[in-house]
Amino acid sequence: MTEVQYTTLPETRVPVSAEADVVVIGGGPAGIASAISSAENGARTLLIEQRGFLGGMGTVSLVPAFCPFTDKEKPIIRGIGLELLERMKSEAGEAFQQEYEEWLDWVPIDAEALKRVYDDAVLEKGVHPLYHTFVYDVVLSASKRQIEGILIVNKSGLSLVRCKYIIDATGDADIAAKAGVPFQKGGSEGELQPGSMCYLLSNVDRYCFQQFLKDTQDTVQLHRTVERGIAEGALPEGRKSISGLAWISDTLVGVNFGHVFGIDGTKAEDLTRGAIEGRRLVERQIRFFRKYVPGFEQAHLVASGEQIGIRETRRIQGDYVLTAEDFMQARTFEDDIARNAYYIDIHLANSKSEMTINHLPPGQSHGVPYRVLLPVGIDNLWVPGRAASSDRAVQGSLRVMPNCFAMGQAAGTAAAMAACHSLTSREVSVPELQKRLLDRGAWLGEGVVQG
């Protein structure tokens, strides 16, 4: 390993560019819901996003569909997340709205419609968005238990944002890590779930494809088609299922298929390699589709993800670590702020290994306690989303977009409550937080009365 070399930069004066009660960093589902709920509850809220739009993996990486909002019997992810899903359906056009009106699980994502929905949703609530901006570092208090500000970098230069409370919705716990919060990453040997380069194909024939499935035992034959493509060298070894097809229209489909291995989403070098290898893999997959899959003979690549999709990086050490046993026992906690029913979905770490999948029975879910959002050692920071405090198995379930909405709504509400009364994150009244979440439409389990 090459030894890291260092240099010393000269001391510099940095302007203060903004002040806010609550700063949300990261504009994916966790950050969007955090910012909306923070502003709704009366806090001056700044939302910082490194791209020129919101949406996270659904817009940046073109993940083709939302994971389930239900436990296969009823919606359990409600509130802000469910409202935004319905707004996207309406914004995507009449035909889309009619087809997916009753859907709450695996709804295809119209990325351009979703970008507009998210812009409008945060602006309507008085959130101040700041796009094209990275967080360079954090400024800690003398006790090192509070973040007093963040250094940001953008086209305007380097500046300081003063803040009272921080929500780290980066998905990678970037802010928590900069603040010294302990974390875990990957499996026992450091292995990480692979990335996927998702993409959009036009000029495809949905009817022809559906006839192919109908005539050949549905997805069983599709699985065999992929295996044949691998055996004949048309595809690399690895993922054997094209389960990730989401039809936006009869001629436009989003695709999540195939893996790029060994990508650490916290490293720019790995993201660079993932982008290059991912685009090469997409080109190979399209040639496979044209040759092997009816309805795709004239498929045309419209767009690939700006970034390879990342499933797993850091998991913070929080006041509670949600475990696989909690998941399998469908446990409820006194401080629940959300429910989760998505299956444990850990993708293979290399082309020879197998996926790990564990389901709860229909109608069952487990609680997500407030404590998993609270990183140890810091008193004014929340970490909702895939980096919340859990073991690796549960992270494979908790990481998906609907869950991120629910955790973000809780984090933003709690941060605004803390700001209103000058409390630490751990001094927020959990019963009052739960009441506010219920009043805003969240669902916290059977027998818990909605507001």
- Considering only CA atoms, give the Rg of the chain: 22
Contact 237, 352 (CB under 8 A): yes
Contact 147, 380 (CB under 8 A): yes
Contact 64, 70 (CB under 8 A): no
Q: 263-309 pLDDT, tens per residue?
A: 999 999 999 999 999 999 999 999 999 999 999 999 999 999 999 99
* pLDDT the model gives residue 448: 79
Q: Which two tokens stand for residue 85?
A: 């899903």
Contact 159, 393 (CB under 8 A): no
* Residues ≥6 apart with Cβ < 8 Å to 103: none
* H helix intervals, 182-267: 206-215, 219-231
* pLDDT the model gives residue 216: 65
Length of the chain equals: 451
Contact 258, 239 (CB under 8 A): yes
323 phi, psi to nearest 5 deg:
-120, 165
Task: Provide the residue-wise pLDDT of the chain in tens; the chain has 451 residues.
Answer: 578 899 998 999 999 999 999 999 999 999 999 999 999 999 999 999 999 999 999 999 999 999 999 999 999 999 999 999 999 999 999 999 999 999 999 999 999 999 999 999 999 999 999 999 999 999 999 999 999 999 999 999 999 999 999 999 999 999 999 999 999 999 988 899 999 999 999 999 999 999 988 876 566 778 889 999 999 999 998 777 776 899 999 999 999 998 999 999 999 999 999 999 999 999 999 999 999 999 999 999 999 999 999 999 999 999 999 999 999 999 999 999 999 999 998 877 665 555 567 899 999 999 999 999 999 999 999 999 999 999 999 999 999 999 999 999 999 999 999 999 999 999 999 999 999 999 999 999 987 765 4
* pLDDT the model gives residue 42: 98
163 phi, psi to nearest 5 deg:
-150, 155
CA 197/CA 355 separation, integer angstroms: 18
300 three-state secondary structure: strand
5: burial class by Cβ within 10 Å (0-12, 13-18, 19+)?
A: exposed
Q: Which two tokens stand for residue 209?
A: 């494809």
Distance of CA 351 to the CA centre of its chain: 24
Contact 76, 341 (CB under 8 A): yes
Q: 219-254 pLDDT, tens per residue?
A: 677 888 999 999 999 999 877 777 689 999 999 999
pTM metric for this prediction: 0.96
Q: Are strands 16-25 and 45-48 parallel, antiparallel or unpaired?
A: parallel
